[in-house]
Copies of this chain bind each other. A is one copy, B any other.
Amino acid sequence: MPKYVYGFAEGSRDMKDLLGGKGANLAEMVGLGLPVPPGFTITTEACRSYLQRGAEPPELAEQVQAHLADLEKAMGKRLGHPTDPLLVSVRSGARFSMPGMMETVLNVGLTDRSVAGLARAAADERFAWDSYRRLVQMFGRTVLGIDGALFDEALERAKAERHTTNDLDLDAADLRAVVDAFKAIVRAESGREFPQDPREQLTLAVRAVFDSWNAPRAVSYRRQERIPGGLGTAVNVVAMVFGNLGPDSGTGVAFTRDPATGRPGVYGDYLANAQGEDVVAGVRNTRPLTELEQLDRASYRRLLEIMRILERHYRDLCDIEFTIERGTLWILQTRVGKRTAAAAFVVACQLVDEGLIDLDEALRRVSGDQLGQLMFPRFDAEAPKRLLTVGMNASPGAATGVVVFDSAAAVTRARSGQGVILVRRETNPDDLDGMIAAKGVLTSRGGRTSHAAVVARGMGRTCVCGAEELVVDERARRLLAPGGVEVAEGEVLSIDGSTGEVFLGEVPVVDSPVVEYFQGSIDPAGPQADELVRAVHRLIGHADARRRLQVRANADTGQDAERARRFGAQGIGLCRSEHLFLGERRELVERLVLAETDADRAAALAEMLPVQRAEVIELFRAMDGLPVTIRLLDPPLHEFLPDLTELAVRVGIAEERGEVADRDVALLAAVRRLHESNPMFGLRGVRLGIVLPGLFGMQVRAIAQAAAHVRADGVEVRAEIMVPLVGAVQELQAAVDEATAVLAEEGRAAGVPLDALIGTMIELPRAALTAGTIAEAAQFFSFGTNDLTQTTWGFSRDDVEGSFFATYLECGVFAVSPFESLDAEGVGRLIRIAVAEGRRTRADLKLGVCGEHGGDPASVHFFHQAGLDYVSCSPFRIPIARLEAGRAAVLERLESSR
């Protein structure tokens, strides 16, 4: 026979799956000898059985009866007995905390008869009728499904009759009348009497808790928090203790350390003469917990002792719910407490110092997401602000500046020294210069994975996107906000990328000390360093010592590279060489693509070469001694060409006016000829390299010349040349042949050979599926997980995020966008195949990843498990990747030692 009910003495904190978090911790405290009111837990298994069958498992009633009998014996009272009744609370308690999502019924056991017994036993008639009033109200709403407003209204009427708004002003007689009114509501709404059998009350209350697992708000909360829907909840049946039995009673919440800062001490709140729900409802204002020392020194001392016991036992910050009933302290609940990101780092290090945990465990207790939160500047919390609207928090940080509506204006104003907020309906690659120049980007369209969001995150720019209440009128250079507010170019806005808030005017910004530390402007051993900086320094150092994954940066310029190195980059994993030829220099590639003769083509290439060389020189200098991976030109053709529709309209109108230029007609014809229906899946990457002979050769030549140039200054060069969008080894081989020939030629010219590695992106399913063959021609693989996600799923990021991703996230096709966190099942499987088969061909094949996922915590763990050598991510995410790579190594060690 399955065991569906556990007394508290039978459980422990390791039984959370079966007893839920609350039940397991109650059992644990009982084991520690702490003053927990007696009770028992009905298991999650019983709940699952109920939910599946639509009825309680047949054994349940008998087991509950047996444990209830034990409870009655322990308390020396009988449930609902007329003279001195035992009352119990019936509370949900799932594996994962779902605060406020499920049901609770207190005071179960009170009836028309036992209410008198309670009055006598407590010597407090008002208390007894108030307790009964609460039971009928909760039971009616929760168990019988009656609209709670009906009870609230009846109570308000009673108070109104007494000309008061405080329920403490109602006396026993008033409350007895309220109970009558409530029972009438029950009768009218449910068609039955309020049950007078205490055992029936208990059974129905347990069933109501079971049912609340599938209440809509619980389902939607679980979906949002990614809690599996099949777990079910446990139910805790506990003898009632009362904080509302007079001034020597009360209830409170205590934290063993400050959950905001991590500082040790006594933190919490206390409310005298009250029950827990009064605290939640905010009926009266709570007092700081320290004041309890004045009210009840003995209980306060006892509580502090218990807090120490629990913290040492759980080896972590705990939060505790307690009640004092006429001078007796009862602990109703404890758990490892939630905390801010800063507190997480500080507390973890304190516990190490106190000898409670080791550094590995401390590292497990912080996360890359928390570190990320600590790295962004914030608006001064104290400063006055005028909120305009709230969009999506797309790329965190706080930015203030004058509003501009196009890339050119952003560049001009930024050059003149102004801070700039670039406002667009949505961005595209043409806005790149403006995004680089701006402090922040604000768009009215597109989600967290729109171009604006992704690029801004990549370059560490603050971004609020999809602020749909704003009407952006780019032509008129103004935006319209709710309430008729109009903001013209040149006016000042402030945007908070961590919250999505948009403020009118300037709001002062506070820098992140953590970033200052990473940038080297705060010495972690010096006086400027606070406890947080010291904790971050200590834990990131431990992560570095533990991690197997190297961390490189995606960096396109020398400046990016320098910053990345300060942040701990161990090389560049991706320099997108195309960044040089977008924006202002787009014309160079346009000329190359539209060239009609070999001479035209050669001229365009000759002009591109020094541009490319100069940039690579900067990179090599910044990364002296570290590897630098340069990806040959990758993007779709159309990014280098004028927009077809715009151009066609312009030419059409010019023709209509009879003033069309021949040059424009020719350009339109060429753009039409080169137009692709699906440019992301067209002529790009290695395909362009093969079709436009000399293009890749020019780039490789620039790299070789740059290497020769900086070596003369004593710089150590470790160049890695990366061929994009390879699907077949033959494509790679063609590019490798061209590169090898150029390298040899330039090596002879320089008198020193350049031993560059040549490798490929793995970003097409076919590349992963034929990795064993491709590795014959590649010295390294770098997984381009953005494109690999696009092709594995068959959707283009540009198109789908704004269209159906919202629906997909809502209806649970994805738990998270596969562009944010790697789809381990599909895309990840291809990566595992490529790793295994690539290494089988070439044991020393270097393996890395350079998609957005390289800086995503969950994905970093996947890459560690998959056995890659490095991840590469944007400079600002390097500390996050370092931390998570360390955590992945520690977790793996933990798993394997189990």
Contacts and interface: CB of A to CB of B under 8 A. Distances in A.
Contact of A792 (B657, B769, B798, B814): B769
Contacts of A800: 681-683, 687
Interface stretch (A24-32, A265-273, A648-656): A648-656
Question: Which residue, A676, A769, A793, A811, has most C-beta atoms of chain B within 10 A?
Answer: A769
Interface string A760-799: 0001111001100100000000000001001111111011
B680 A681 contact: yes
Given A648-B648, A730-B812, A681 B826 contact: no
A602 B2 CA distance: 52
Given A765-B765, A812-B730, A681 B649 contact: no
Interface stretch (A177-185, A296-304, A539-547, A802-810): A802-810
Contact of A807 (B678, B691, B766): B691
A799 B683 contact: yes
A795 B682 contact: yes
Contacts of A644: 645
Given A766-B792, A811-B734, A826 B677 contact: no
Nearest to A677: B798
B793 A682 contact: no
A804 B763 CA distance: 19
A614 B652 CA distance: 43
Given A649-B649, A830-B769, A790 B681 contact: yes
A835 to B, nearest CB: 15
Contact of A769 (B676, B727, B829): B829
B811 A690 contact: yes
A326 to B, nearest CB: 55
A682 B648 contact: no
Q: Most chain-B CB neighbours within 10 Å: which of A678, A690, A804, A812?
A: A678
A731 interface: yes
Contacts of A765: 765, 791-794, 826, 830
A679 interface: yes
A691 B804 CA distance: 7
Contacts of A812: 730
A728 interface: yes
A769 B799 contact: no
B799 A681 contact: yes
A823 interface: yes
Contacts of A773: 825
B764 A792 contact: yes
A476 interface: no
A691 B795 CA distance: 15
User: Which one of A657, A725, A770, A804 has the greatest number of beta carbons of chain B within 10 Å?
Assistant: A804
A825 B772 CA distance: 11
Interface string A689-719: 0110000000000000000000000000000
Interface in A701-751: 725, 727-728, 730-731, 734
A813 interface: yes
A648 B796 CA distance: 24
Candidate in A681, A791, A793, A798 with the most chain B CB atoms within 10 angstroms: A681
Given A656-B653, A794-B766, A679 B678 contact: yes
Interface in A647-668: 648-649, 652-653, 656-657
A766 B790 CA distance: 10
Contacts of A656: 653, 656-657
Interface string A609-645: 0000000000000000000000000000000000011
Contacts of A814: 728
B645 A690 contact: no
B677 A799 contact: yes
B652 A825 contact: no
Given A766-B826, A804-B691, A808-B690, A794 B796 contact: no
Nearest to A730: B813
Contact of A794 (B649, B676, B727, B795): B727
A830 B687 CA distance: 23
Interface of A: 644-645, 648-649, 652-653, 656-657, 676-683, 687, 690-691, 725, 727-728, 730-731, 734, 763-766, 769-770, 773, 787, 790-796, 798-800, 803-804, 807-808, 811-814, 823, 825-827, 829-830
14 contacts: A649-B649, A649-B652, A676-B796, A677-B678, A678-B680, A682-B795, A683-B800, A687-B804, A690-B804, A690-B808, A690-B813, A766-B792, A769-B829, A770-B825
Q: Which 7 A-B pairs have the closest CB atoms?
A: A678-B796, A766-B826, A682-B799, A681-B796, A649-B652, A765-B765, A678-B678
